[in-house]
Structure formats: C-alpha cells, structure tokens
Amino acid sequence: MSFMQEIAVPAGPAPDIGAFATPLVNSVDVTIVMPCLNELQSLPHCIRNARLALDQLSEEHGFTGEIVIADNGSTDGSQQLATALGARVVDVDRRGYGAALIGGCEGAWGRYILMGDCDGSYNFTEGVAMIAKLDEGHDVCMGSRFLGGIAPGAMPWKNRYIGNPALSGILNLFFRSGIEDAHCGLRAIRKEAFTRLKLTGSGMEFASEMVIKASLLKMNMTQVPATLSPDLRERAPHLRPWRDGWRHLRYLFMLSPTWVFGVPALAAVSLGLLILASAFASAMGWSAAGPFGESWTVIGAMMVAVGHMAGLMAVASHLYGVREGYRLPKPWLLRFRKVLSLEGCVISGLALVAASAAALTGVGIYWGQEGFAALPSILPVTLGGLLGTIGLQTLFGGFLLAVLGGNEADFLPASEG
C-alpha cells in the first residue's frame, strides 16, 4: 500500500494540481513558504488552505503565486505528498525551524513571501491582507495573535501569558519595533527585504531575528490581525518552551550591544569614577572622609576598567553589525568617524600608557626618597595602574576592531551610513 493510501486526506475539494504547475523562475508574485519536518498529517489541509489564499490574491490583486514546502529532512513521505498536491519542495539540509524558513525563502520565486507553519495552526487566507500591505509599500507585515485571537488550547498558558508577552516586551524595549506579537508564525516580507536582512538563526529564534534586524535597518513594518488554532498533529510539537524561550532571550541580547555592553559599561564607569572622585577629594583634604575609604579605590578602579572594556565591546559589536549590513551606524559614531581607526586607538592607547608610566615613575621616586617605607596612600598607584590598564585595552581593542572590520584600519568607512 502506498503512503497516499495510508493517510486520510481531510475533507474538501481536491487541489487543482494543474493550477500548481511549476512556473518559470521569477515569474510569480507571491510565494507561500512552509517549513516541514514530518508533517504528513497536516500537509493536505495546509496546502489546500494556502491554495485558497492564492486564489484570493489572484481575484483581488491579480497576483500569481506558488507554494513552497521547505523540507528539513522528513522521513514520513511529506516530500512526495507535497509534490503530489502541487507544491514545490525545497530541500534544506541545515536542521532547525529558522534554517528551514531561510532555505525556503532563498528558494522562493515570488517578489512577496508569506510564511506560515505547516501544522494547521494558521489560516493562510489571513495572509492576503499581509501581502496587500507589502504591495502598499511596507517591507514587513507581521500577524498579531493578540489582535486576531487565540483559540482555546492553541497555545500553552505559560507561552500566552508569560513567555510571549515578556519576550515581545523586551524586544520592543531594546529595539522599539512597534510589533506587539513578534513571534507570530504568520508573517510576510518582500523578497529583497529578506535578502537584505541576512538572517542566520537556525532555531525558533528566527522569529525574533527577523523583527530585530528589520527594526535595526529601519524597514517599514506593520501588523494585521491573525488567529491561532490548535494544530492538527497528533504528535508533540517541535517547540520546546524553555529551551526555545532561552534561545530567543539570548538572541535579543546578542543583537543589542547597547543593553548587553553599553548600559553596564556606563553604570560601571559612573560608579567607579564616583568612588575614585570621593577618595581623591578626601585625600586632598577638599572634603571630609566620605563613605568610600581608601580601600575602595581598588574597587573603583576595577569598575572603571571593566566599564571601559565593556564599552569597547559595545562599539565592536555595533561596528560588526554595520559591517555585516544588518545595522545602521549610530549618529554619534558618524561624528567621530575620523578618529574611529586603528591609528586613533594606537595613539590614544600609547598616550595613556605613557601617562601611566610617568605617574608610576613619580610614585617610585617619592617612594625612594622616603626610604622605601610604606606609602601613605594607595590612590596614586591605583590611578597610575588604571591609566595603564585603559591604555593597553584601547591599544589591543583597536587591533580587535580592525580584525572584525575585515582587517581594515578605518572602523567606519565613508561608504557606511
């Protein structure tokens, strides 16, 4: 018995296979992409539903279309069934939800792409409004399940009330996307916009990556209502809430150097300088002994050094994103373009090291004059050591930035921004 005889195809009119006849490359307007891994049970419903969406797009907008099944190594005959039902199968070797969608979108022939899961939980006819938004000039259109509605049993409570709101909230705090449901699986994007995003996420974090990078590049995004229904599969879903939630969260931080490096850097440097200033004022007799005794100067210096290092990491991460093409340069970086170079870091780093050497030499001379007795204060040594630490970090950081920039001495070439 063949696999076609072993499954029960959901009720409804049989797909018009002739209508799915393979078009010439780049001859269609819309490609509907579905990631697939052993979805034999839900494929007939999803392909039929996608065909209804293409029919509506044809009637309302005169668009032609195709259905692409991005297969991620199915072993249940999903590929053969999809082909028999008139879809085009794109094999994707790299495993993962995001990898399958990226492979499917790369193989799409349409200028507009509509993505949706292959489990029956989304209604592709709701994507007609998304494609219309793209045709109006938007680059990305997201579905919002909060606007459209979530059917009972379609989403676990921890995802609905904790995970999704929390992750979407953090995403909007970090990147100000304005998208309230950043993890909806029904979404549309222009093919050229997809190419420009250079998406790489292989897992469920793909959902966040697409919205984040579109926000970073200031693409024109919008959203429309989308509904979520219980999926049609009898097996457990591929989604693992805790694992995939962490993958989303870590991706938010990896793509936000401001929050993962910049904010901690500013906080550390500010508090460290406050401690050092208080200790210095007290040592000079300018103020009464403050809350930070001399022992605290070591802590203050450490915080300034760590903050400086974190600041270098923030700049390096930001410039890497600019170089890779998924981030626009910050305006303040453009103002300092001339000094953002390997030479600038080398000169400033050596200057700080020289200042450190001079300060420590002065301490050494004083120490010798006092018969090498214990110094009355560790503040001069601490400040001298701090200057040297920052200088060396600046020097080494300059070479790191040059390496990340493709071995270019100018960290932000004139062509950027």
Which superfamily, per CATH, for 3-254?
Answer: Spore Coat Polysaccharide Biosynthesis Protein SpsA; Chain A (3.90.550.10)
Q: What are the Cα distances from residue 31, in Å, to 53, 54, 56, 298? A: 11, 9, 14, 61
Percentage of residues in the chain having pLDDT higher than 90: 58
- Give domain limits for the chain: 3-254, 257-404
Token pair for 257: 């150097």
Note the pLDDT of residue 268. Answer: 96
Mean pLDDT, rounded, for 285-304: 80
- Measure the CA–CA gap between 411 and 417, rounded to whole angstroms: 12
pLDDT for 254 beyond 60: yes
What is the pLDDT, as a whole number, of residue 240?
63
| pLDDT band, residue 238 (cuts 50/70/90) | low
Vertex 100, ends 208 and 230: CA angle to 5°? 70
Q: CB-based contacts of 11: which residues, under 8 Å, 6+ apart?
A: none
Mean pLDDT along residues 375-392: 92
Specify the pairing of strand 187-190 against strand 140-144.
antiparallel
Mean pLDDT for all residues in the chain? 86
Q: For residue 236, what pLDDT is reported?
A: 57
* Residue in 133, 5, 1, 119 with CA at minimum distance from that of residue 57: 133
Q: Cα separation of 295 and 301, whole Å? A: 11
| Residue 9 banded pLDDT, cuts 50, 70, 90 | very low
| Distance between CA atoms of residues 24 and 344, nearest Å | 54
Position 398 pLDDT exceeds 80: yes
